[in-house]
Structure 1
Amino acid sequence: MINSGLKLLAALCTLTMVSASSQKPAGDWNGKKCAVVLTYDDAIDIDLDNVIPALDSVGFKGTFYLIGSSPVISKRMPEWRKAAANGHELGNHGLFHPCDGSMPGRSFVSPDHDLSKYTVKRAVDEVRALNTMLKAIDGKTQRTYAYPCGDLKIGDEYFYDQLKNDFAGARGVTGGLPTATQVDLSNINAYSISDKPADYMIDLVKKAQQTNTLLVFLFHGIGGGHSINESREAHRQLLQYLKANQKDIWVAPMVDVAQHIATIQHVKSKQ
């Protein structure tokens, strides 16, 4: 009778331990179930007027991928410097945002900044020149890159291969929800958002929570300012959901998340 009682107690303890372990996040996202990164492209006035105040109101930090030639940088540099000092990332989106003009639907590409006409050296030099400029603004040496138009190659060559030591990672434009070990730091998945209802974005967050994965949002205009636009209200509802579920969701700039992923991948590779 005593032995039976001990066996039952041991079984209950085991069941409790298994149940408790199943409650823990499967991936290491700072002890949370998933990571969400909010990124905003092209260095536009809306970033400073609408987005940063919205993020600051809920205590989140975003990543702003700046085009070096954007007049919004030179005209409003103190505001960018303040945003960086407050924890937002100033990322690199190219000195002139060169895109491959040889691809379909690229009539907007300037002949002077057609990536298909670049040499790899020119592309690399321009990216590094913008890094110098961004460091002069924020004083930081670590940041991430975002491919203009999502273009990865010049001819058959991946130009970022020469830039891997310059950045913590590079954000692409292809949607996906990878685990920490699945993330390709040379082409980080991201969901491009334009005129989407809040429910669409929140459902993506819920999927990330369920699968213990990384979710990166790619925004341009928020409430105007860009031909690729998302409403301020839908954006606000997304932020409110993230705030209400902070216990499960790690919201951080891309550079912080990329560095975290690199550490995890390094540890896993040694096991």
Structure 2
Amino acid sequence: MIRLFLALLLAAPAAVCAQTTAWQGKQCAVVLTYDDAIDADLDRVVPALDSLKLRGTFYLIGSSPVVAKRLPEWRRAAQKGHELGNHALMHPCDGTLPGRSFVTPETDLSKYTVARAVSEIRATNTLLSAIDGRTRRTFAYPCGDRTIGGVDFYEPLRGDFVAARGVTKGLPTAAQVDLTNVACYSINGQSAEYMLDLVRQAQQTHTLLVFLFHGVGGGHSLNVDANAHRQLLRYLKAHERDIWVAPLVEVAESVKAQQAGAAPGKPSR
């Protein structure tokens, strides 16, 4: 019994070390993602992040007029270390699902072919590379939809991205992260305390926490209060010795390396 107790005692620090290696030796990783390329991203979010020297991931819709009209500002955001992620060219969603009255015939994913989806996503990568000069980035599934006629359209794109963010909730360890469908928490009206509680949970469990925001202080049908968002950023800054805050592309690269090292000869997902 004593030997078993000692073995467990010695194993505990090693387990924690393995969990935190992918998080740059910190307790957890937190990723701030912002969808749809809206004016609020450039007007409020980027300045708020820059003021605290924090970096996030902005998922841009290639056809968005906010991308076309404000290219220099997106380029400056990338130069400051923010990731410009791929949110497809037209943001197609499956219009056959409940609650999808906003989907138009032109943006109905159920009417796409896999080849068309892949082509439009790759075209968006070309656009993003022209803005930021980068070739490594992540993808975010529009509406969280992953299939066309039952076929996974991301499969042909695995080599084009470091990872893809989904919409399913979860706080995975580095070993548990699914790089083809990274879990996240979508924020729409929740309080600052709700978000801070999630961060504390991630700290305690040594896991990855990804936030999904749309409008911050307005600008979208899905919003978070600007003050609540500010409280979250201030907490992350105050605890930066314990929390790794980085764009998803950097965190995913670290996770991929950790998973590959933990399973020699087995390709990382």
Q: Is the 8 A contact 1:25 1:212 kept in 2?
A: no
Q: Which runs of 5+ in 1 are unaligned?
A: 1-13
**Hey, what does 1:8 align to over in structure 2?**
none
**Hey, what does 2:132 align to over in structure 1?**
138
Q: TM-score, normalised by structure 2?
A: 0.92
Q: Is the 8 A contact 2:168 2:185 kept in 1?
A: yes
> More deviation in 251-260 or 22-31?
22-31
Q: Which amino acid aligns with 2:264?
A: K
Deviations 1:135-159 (A, max 9, x none): 0000000000000000010011100
What percent of counterpart residues are identical?
63
**Hey, what does 2:30 align to over in structure 1?**
36
Question: Could you say if the C-alpha distance between residues 77 and 127 of structure 1 is closer, same or farther in structure 2, counting changes exceeding 3 Å?
Answer: same
**Hey, what does 1:67 align to over in structure 2?**
61
Deviation at residue 26 of structure 1 after TM alignment: 3.5
Q: Is the 8 A contact 1:25 1:33 kept in 2?
A: no
**Hey, what does 1:6 align to over in structure 2?**
none
**Hey, what does 1:248 align to over in structure 2?**
242
**Hey, what does 1:201 align to over in structure 2?**
195
Question: Could you say if the C-alpha distance between residues 20 and 168 of structure 1 is closer, same or farther in structure 2, counting changes exceeding 3 Å?
Answer: closer
| Counterpart selection for 1:27 from 12, 15, 20 | 20
Question: Could you say if the C-alpha distance between residues 164 and 21 of structure 1 is closer, same or farther in structure 2, counting changes exceeding 3 Å?
Answer: closer
Q: Is the 8 A contact 2:32 2:57 kept in 1?
A: yes
Task: Establish whether residue 158 from structure 1 lines up as the match of residue 124 from structure 2.
Answer: no
Deviation at residue 113 of structure 1 after TM alignment: 1.2
The secondary structure found in structure 2 opposite 1:270 is coil
Deviation at residue 23 of structure 1 after TM alignment: 7.7
Q: Which amino acid aligns with 1:63?
A: T
Alpha-carbon RMSD across the aligned residues, in angstroms, is 1.9
Deviation at residue 27 of structure 1 after TM alignment: 2.6
CA–CA separation in structure 1 for the residues paired with 2:19 and 2:214:
32
Q: Which amino acid aligns with 1:150?
A: G
Task: Establish whether residue 99 from structure 1 lines up as the match of residue 81 from structure 2.
Answer: no
Moved over 2 A (4+): 16-27
Deviation at residue 177 of structure 1 after TM alignment: 0.2
**Hey, what does 2:4 align to over in structure 1?**
none
CA–CA separation in structure 2 for the residues paired with 1:189 and 1:119:
26
The secondary structure found in structure 2 opposite 1:218 is strand
CA–CA separation in structure 2 for the residues paired with 1:61 and 1:103:
34
Q: Is the 8 A contact 2:19 2:174 kept in 1?
A: no
**Hey, what does 1:212 align to over in structure 2?**
206
Deviations 1:58-116 (A, max 9, x none): 11110000001110011110000000011000000010000000001101001011000
Q: Which runs of 5+ in 2 are unaligned?
A: 1-6
> More deviation in 24-33 or 88-97?
24-33
Q: Is the 8 A contact 1:198 1:237 kept in 2?
A: yes
Question: Could you say if the C-alpha distance between residues 267 and 224 of structure 1 is closer, same or farther in structure 2, counting changes exceeding 3 Å?
Answer: same
Name the count of aligned residue pairs.
258
Q: Which amino acid aligns with 2:55?
A: K
CA–CA separation in structure 2 for the residues paired with 1:81 and 1:137:
6
CA–CA separation in structure 1 for the residues paired with 2:123 and 2:200:
39
CA–CA separation in structure 2 for the residues paired with 1:20 and 1:107:
51
| Counterpart selection for 1:181 from 170, 175, 178 | 175
